[in-house]
Every structure is written in structure tokens, then in C-alpha cells.
Amino acid sequence: METIKLTIDNRQVEVPKGTTILQAAHQAGINIPSLCYMNLPYLAQEHKPGSCRVCVVEIPGRKNLVPACATECTDEMKVLSHSLRAINARRTVVELLLSDHPKDCLICPSSGNCELQKLSITMGIREINSVENAAMSTYRKDASPALNRNMDKCVMCRSCETVCNEIQTVGALSAVNRGFMSVVAPAFEQELTDSPCTFCGQCVAVCPTGALTAVDNTFHVIRALADPNKYVVVQTAPAVRAALGEEFGYPPGNSVTGKMVAALRSIGFDQVYDTDFAADLTIMEEGTELLDRLSRFLDGDKNVRLPILTSCCPAWVNFFETNYPDMLDVPSTARSPQQMFGAIAKTYMAEKLGIKREDMVVVSVMPCLAKKYECQRDEFKVDGNPDVDYAITTRELAHLIKIGNIDFNTLKEEDFDRPMGESTGAGLIFGVTGGVIEAATRTAYELFTGKKLEKVDFHELRGMEGIRTASVNFDGTYIHIGIAHTLGNARKLLDGIRKGMYNFHAIEIMACPGGCIGGGGQPLHRGNSIVLKARMDAIYKEDFNKPIRKSHENPEIIKLYEEFLGKPLSEKSHKLLHTHYFSHPKK
């Protein structure tokens, strides 16, 4: 490989040709600050509009300062990252950003987690040189069921735009207006709810400031917990435990399941359950549906729609309802684990516990913003009472724990309540890309072949590649599987299916990078792939150590069918655990 030698601040660096100054500096231990730059190597997406001008550096001899993020190193280049000229320019640029930014840091949802705030702290800015009452660019606030837009705080880094358009191909956000009033917004500055937004929340995950934030339900939960007439049960999604620790100082990749359970119990939830239980239930329903379609297909039934598509991810559901209204009969009709949980909790469990439906409050802790929207959908309500009352994010749970004055780090590990806290490794891996289909495969294999599955780990289905394909040998019958994470990759697969390019039997889709572990409700990943990979490893490790790793072997699931549902795809299952989809053509 051709290399280039250059000097940055008197330090010699040798880098491969094509390296930017920012990367080279990083390699040399020089942290040039940046704001709009975002690198998503696992999605092959580098966002470097070179627009914030925070990373400008001086190259003696050149007329102007250059942005380190978007300037390639050349041989014998001399870079000054902290010359007076560079420092003054950088500081002035940050001052300019601050001059057009609300100063309500103390009560901002992103306080402590804001890249602009960090810049201001790092650079020691104590005053902003601009005229008194300098104009601010202000915009109408926009609220949706899942996320809020306060674009007064937008710094025009356009990361959200790149994520929404390039990675998710949703196309809900783009720059509008010109000059001082330019901002990122849905077309014609519509509200988000009138746009093709799927509420995937990836814009929130990459927003460096408090411009895009999640809807906060923490106080609703606190109020419900304080209500003596309410019986409050909580479910926690698989990806939450793999990231919650990060909010309490644990390095990424530390699963904190036991502490999380202890914290939830300490906060005062009446029952601490696991969404993984509902994930196992999903496998029973979806797996059976897959086998049913598959058997009919193999028997020559021409009316069977294959591949079957997973339906656990609510952003993905929104996406295909908006973009593929002609394919609504392709995805599985199985509800997501969150909604299956709610439906079972407010029927089977409520009955068992002797509690009236309206007195039970189901709270879900999710890595996801779209879940906040999903639980409000009309089809998941009975007489106006939702199966899941409040969905909160991993970040909100961290706040709840802090509000509850709980010292998370010294908590003793505890276990989930039964029966809805019993789960398998299959349910757990729902949190990562490829996990749902692997869980389904573990069960479908045994149901299809009637043989015991010896090798439980399907490594061919794992990884961070955007689109993965594999063929699994079901005792002579090969099942073709496709996996996509991010909606842009989902679109590629779906468009291929529409054109008849693929012969998949089953496809798993998750809207977020890496699956739910990279969800918009998680501690903000800001595109950091190392964090996502660590969370993924934590989930697989926990799965590996689980005593039961196949959904159909979950004893409480077996009992649920025996006592209540009958069998998968029964009439009761259809009523409680399946749904239908609606066409929302792109507006």
C-alpha cells in the first residue's frame, strides 16, 4: 500500500494514501475537534460534508484553512492544528454556533450528552462576541408519538439527513430554507407525522445536540407506580440489558441483566418480566407460520407468498406500510414481542393475578423509539385501553433508576419474576441483527425435521454486514435466508423480491444498524461501530450461557399454550398475537 509521510504539529505521521488529516491526526494522538463529521464504517457510510468548519487546520502556504475531515493528506504536508490562526478560527466558529443556539443547557434533554456543549467546554468559551440581542434562527416545534424536533438547536451538521436518506432511505428529512434560516426538516416544513418518517429514531441516535430527542414518558411511569390502584408490570427488551450499563459507567459490552432486574424491582414495579419471554412466543407463532407457508409451498401451492418477512420491528412495519403497500400480505402477521407481551399480560396474567385489565399498567423498556408509536396503534387497544401503556427507552430507564436514588453499581443481581420472566437464549438474540431468524431456525429445524438440533449456533447468520444471505440445511431441504439491517438495505432486498430476483424463504429485517442494540432509544451510539459490536458480543455471550436456547423448550411458553392458547395459530392466538397491516402510501 502506498503511504504518505506528513507532519502534524511537529509530529511525524505515516499513513496510507487517501487518509484524511483528521484520521491521520487521530493516529498520531492529536484530537482535532469536529462536529459534523460522522463515520459509519460498518455501513460503508462516511458523512463528511465539511460544513461545520470546527476541524479547520492551517497548512502553511495555502490561502485558506482547510477542514481536516475532508482534506486528504499529501506527501510532505505540514499541518498546524493549533496555530493561533487555527485556534482563533475554530473558536470563532464555535462562538458563532453558540450565538445561534439556545442557552438552556441546564434543562436540555441532551445536556451532558451534547457535542456542542463539549466543544464549548473543551475550548473554554466564556463569552460569545456578538451584538446584543443577536437574531436567533427559530422554528416551530414538532412533536410526534416517538420523537421531538426542536430545530432551534440544530447546528446543520446534517447527520440526521444522511442517516434518514442514505442509510434508511426513508427520505423524511432534508435541508430546507436558505442562509441563516436553513434547517433540516420534512419537505415543506411539514410535521413529522405527515412525513414518511418511520420513527426509527436513528436521527436521534446521531444528532449531536438537543435538536432531535426522544419523547420522554418517565413521569407517566412514576405516576403509575405511585397510584395504589394500579398494578404495574414491566417488560425489558433483550437489547436493553446489553447497553444500560453504559449509562452507569460500564464500558460497552457489559450485560447488566441481574442489576437491571434488581433496579426495576427496587423502583417499585409489581412484576419484573422479560420481553424475551414474548420473543419466545413470537418464535412459536412466526415459526409455525413460516413452516405452514413453507410446507404448502413445497407441496406445490402456488398461492403461498414467500419469503416470509419478520414483523418484530415497528419502524420496519411503518416502512413497508408506507413504501410497499402492494406487499402487505408478505410479512408475518405475528405481532412484535412487545405487543404479544402486552396482550398476554392483560389477559392470561391479569386473570391469573386476579387483576382487572384497566387496573394493570404495562410498561415496556425498549431500545427503540418506534415502540412508543407502536403501542399507541389502535389495533393494539381493547376498548381504548392499550395492551402496552408506556414504552420507555433504555435512556429513560437510566433516568428512572437515578430518580429512584438507586446506586446501580452496588446492586445485587436478581432474577426476573415468573412466569413471564422465563426466557431462552433464542428470545435474547432478538436484540441483534440475524437473531430473530436464528431463533426461528433453531425451532423451525426441530419442528420441520423432527430431529434434535445439535449445533445451536448459526454463525452464518451473524455479523454486521448490511445484507447477509445463508442457506440452512433442514435435513436435505435447503432453506434460503436473507437478513438486512437498516431500512436502506431492507429496501434493496424488497426491491429485489419485487423484481423476482431472489428465492428466499424467509427474511429478517431490523431497521437499526446492528439491530435493536443500535436502536434510537439506546445510549446514543452516534455512529460508533465499536460500541455496537461490543453490545452484539454481549448478547451472544449471554445466549451461549443460557441453560435453554430454543424457544419451544421454554417451559412457561409450553405451559401458556397448555393453559390458555391451545396451539400456535389457534383462534385465540390469532386474536391476541397476530395483526394486520395498513397501507400508508408515501405522502
Partner 1 sequence: MYKMQLLVCSGTGCRASASATIVEKLNESLKAHQLTEEAQVVTTGCFGFCEKGPIVKVIPDNTFYTQVKPEDAEEIVTEHILKGRKVSRLLYEDPENKEHIIDSKHMGFYQKQMRIALRNCGVIDPENIDEYIVRDGYSALAQVVTDLTPEQAIDMVKQSGLRGRGGAGFPTGLKWEITSKFSSDQKYVVCNADEGDPGAFMDRSILEGDPNSIIEAMAICGYCIGATKGLVYIRAEYPLAIKRLEIAIGQAREYGLLGNNIFGSKFSFDMELRYGAGAFVCGEETALIASMEGKRGEPRVKPPFPAESGYMHKPTNVNNVETFANVPVIFLKGPEWYSAIGTEKSKGTKVFALAGKINNVGLIEVPMGITLREIIYEIGGGIKNGKNFKAVQTGGPSGGCLTEAHLDTPIDFDSLVAAGSMMGSGGMIVMDEDDCMVSIAKFYLEFIVEESCGKCTPCRIGNKRMLEILEKITQGKGSMEDLDHLRNLAYVIKDTSLCGLGQSSPNPVLSTLENFYDEYVAHVKDKRCFAKQCKAMAKYTINPDVCTGCTICARNCPVDAITGEKREPHFIHQEICTHCGVCYQKCKFNAINVE
- 108 a catalytic residue: no
**Is the CB of residue 509 less than 8 Å from the CB of residue 486?**
no
Active-site pick, 69, 164, 312, 368: 312
Considering the complex, what minimum distance in angstroms separates the CB of residue 37 from partner 1? 12
Q: Which is nearer to partner 1, 179 or 228 (CB)?
A: 179
Give exposure, 89-100, as e/b (b: 16+ Cβ within 10 Å): bbbebbbebbeb
For residue 473, give the amino acid letter: N
- 286 a catalytic residue: yes
Burial of 357 (0-12, 13-18, 19+ CB in 10 A): middle
Considering the complex, what minimum distance in angstroms separates the CB of residue 358 from partner 1? 50
Considering the complex, what minimum distance in angstroms separates the CB of residue 30 from partner 1? 19
Considering the complex, what minimum distance in angstroms separates the CB of residue 53 from partner 1? 5
Considering the complex, what minimum distance in angstroms separates the CB of residue 488 from partner 1? 18
**Is the CB of residue 469 less than 8 Å from the CB of residue 484?**
no
- 321 a catalytic residue: no
Active-site pick, 285, 346, 516, 550: 516
Burial of 121 (0-12, 13-18, 19+ CB in 10 A): exposed
Terminal Cα distance for the chain, rounded:
49
Q: Which is nearer to partner 1, 58 or 389 (CB)?
A: 58
Q: Which is nearer to partner 1, 180 or 582 (CB)?
A: 180
Q: How far apart are CA 571 and CA 154, in angstroms?
A: 50
- 174 a catalytic residue: no
- For 26, the grid coordinates are 487521530
Q: Beta strand pairing status for 231-236 and 271-274?
A: parallel
Active-site pick, 371, 375, 438, 573: 371
Considering the complex, what minimum distance in angstroms separates the CB of residue 132 from partner 1? 8
Cis omega (within 30 of 0) for bond into 186: no
**Is the CB of residue 486 less than 8 Å from the CB of residue 508?**
no
Reduce the DSSP state of residue 208 to 3 states and report it. Answer: coil
Q: Which is nearer to partner 1, 94 or 531 (CB)?
A: 94
**Is the CB of residue 208 less than 8 Å from the CB of residue 339?**
no
- 110 a catalytic residue: no
Considering the complex, what minimum distance in angstroms separates the CB of residue 556 from partner 1? 54
Considering the complex, what minimum distance in angstroms separates the CB of residue 86 from partner 1? 9
Q: Which is nearer to partner 1, 23 or 257 (CB)?
A: 23
Q: Which is nearer to partner 1, 68 or 426 (CB)?
A: 68
Q: How far apart are CA 170 and CA 528, in angstroms?
A: 21
Q: How far apart are CA 83 and CA 87, in angstroms?
A: 6
- 312 a catalytic residue: yes
Q: How far apart are CA 90 and CA 82, in angstroms?
A: 9
Give pairs for 33-36: CB < 8 Å, separation 24+. 33/90, 33/119, 33/122, 33/123, 34/68, 34/69, 35/97, 35/115, 35/116, 35/119, 35/155, 35/157, 35/208, 36/69, 36/155, 36/156, 36/157, 36/158, 36/159
For residue 340, give the amino acid letter: M
Considering the complex, what minimum distance in angstroms separates the CB of residue 136 from partner 1? 10
Considering the complex, what minimum distance in angstroms separates the CB of residue 188 from partner 1? 14
- 58 a catalytic residue: no
Active-site pick, 374, 422, 438, 542: 374
Other C-beta atoms within 10 Å of 339: how many? 28
Active-site pick, 195, 332, 551, 573: 332
**Is the CB of residue 241 less than 8 Å from the CB of residue 414?**
no
Q: Which of 375, 393, 386, 387 has its CA nearest to residue 349?
A: 387
- 379 a catalytic residue: yes
Considering the complex, what minimum distance in angstroms separates the CB of residue 43 from partner 1? 20
Q: Which is nearer to partner 1, 176 or 548 (CB)?
A: 176
Q: Which is nearer to partner 1, 1 or 131 (CB)?
A: 131
Q: How far apart are CA 55 and CA 531, in angstroms?
A: 24
List of residues contacting partner 1 (CB under 8 A): 48-54, 56, 64-65, 67, 70-72, 85, 88-89, 92-93, 96-97, 99-100, 129-131, 134-135, 155-156, 174-175, 177-182
Q: Which is nearer to partner 1, 7 or 165 (CB)?
A: 165
- For 14, the grid coordinates are 505515516
Active-site pick, 115, 285, 286, 508: 286
Largest separation between any pair of C-alpha atoms in the chain: 80
Cis omega (within 30 of 0) for bond into 386: no
Q: Which is nearer to partner 1, 51 or 469 (CB)?
A: 51
User: How many Cα atoms within 13 Å fall on the side-chain side of residue 306?
Assistant: 24
Q: Beta strand pairing status for 147-149 and 11-16?
A: unpaired
- For 82, the grid coordinates are 493549533
Q: Which is nearer to partner 1, 184 or 461 (CB)?
A: 184
**Which residues are catalytic, by number?**
286, 289, 312, 332, 371, 374, 379, 516
